Structure 1
Amino acid sequence: MEGCFNKLKDIIARFDLQNKPQTIFHCDEIGIQRDAGIQKVLCKRGSRNPNKLVGSVTKAMYTVLMYCNAIGDFLPMFINYKGLHLYSTWCVGEPEKARYNCLQSGWIEAPQCLYWFINCFIPEILKLDGTKCDCRKNIEMFCLPAHTSHLVQPLDVGVYKAVKASWNGILRNYYNETGYKNVDKLVLPTLMKKISEYACLSRANTIGGFEGSGIYPLCKEKMTRKIEIAKIIEGEKIPVFPLPHPLQNQLEP
């Protein structure tokens, strides 16, 4: 992890980004599920087999790419559907300026990522103050270490937990209002638009994610400490403290 920190430090110094948080961006995808999660059911005392009808709770999900900078500017969402063809009816009532694509697997793969970068990311950052200085020539991509998204990726650290909680609330309201109709591609854009009305995408959450991950302000201690904690939890590095001899004798059968 120290090597990752040093590379990031070099990039920030080379492009003179120490005091330019508006030019430091993070993007990450999130899976939007149709299941609203476990809910409590109120029923009369003594009732047998209480239950509540819900919409389809299959494992199906939609993939959404969100991206923002270190001062909390969120740019339009990129929504990727599972399918061979994209239909205009799947893009109605969308979040502001959202972009869409589709792929048979439903995941965002290399072609979709390249399309997003050229047609979404670059045009949008040109509109932001302080990011217009030959950005096409000076963009540096930096991949954070694998399997550490919950520790060092700003959106995972500060935003996505709140997004998922807000989404569950939106989904429950939708089910209650519609009699538990399924969330299909015709409905998803309207529901995703509601996400922006919640505090989950606030500047405070976003700035906290960058700071908590140690990316901005750049902090080696925060970044490396989290990784070490993860190794201990995952069993890669477990400290062993031998018991004092008298106590060890007492524990022997």
Structure 2
Amino acid sequence: MDGHSSHCSNVELLDYAVANDVILFCLPSHSTHWLQPLDRSFFKPLKTYWSKTCQNWVHNNPGRKLGRLQFASLLNAAWCKAATIQNGTSGFRTCGIYPFNPEQIPDYVFVLDKVAQVQENLNPEKIPSRGKMKISTFQMSTDKMSLQLTMIVRTEIHSKTFYRFLA
């Protein structure tokens, strides 16, 4: 799950995880598309198979509406084609999760693009000046929940800087 507060504030989920020895790992915000195996290897083939399956159904059933039973049947057919062991293992490998390979994800992905939200202070009285040149000032604010859920640890792995995010 990503570190969004709505995903981490469900007390029942947290209690269930603790009771069942499940470790919930919060991924860095705005990086889940790089770190979720299904996003990397399953959903694109599923979308492709779904599209082909629907096109075939429409071609073979002109003028008919797609009902619930047909929908479920078509989704099942597409799902069975996409949900292969090869696609599953490929997703973990592509994300660098297993086998562990931080080289799979470029460094720039781990730069938090929204650690702070910068808002320019437009109050003219608060803008210092140096001669004729005005200097803009900025107010910084951070997402408190994001900072509480995410700790950045810098480590050297394979002589490359890699950021691990730990909840």
TM-score by length of 2: 0.49
Higher fraction of strand: 2
Instruction: Decide which structure has greater helix share.
Output: 2
TM-score, normalisation: structure 1 = 0.34
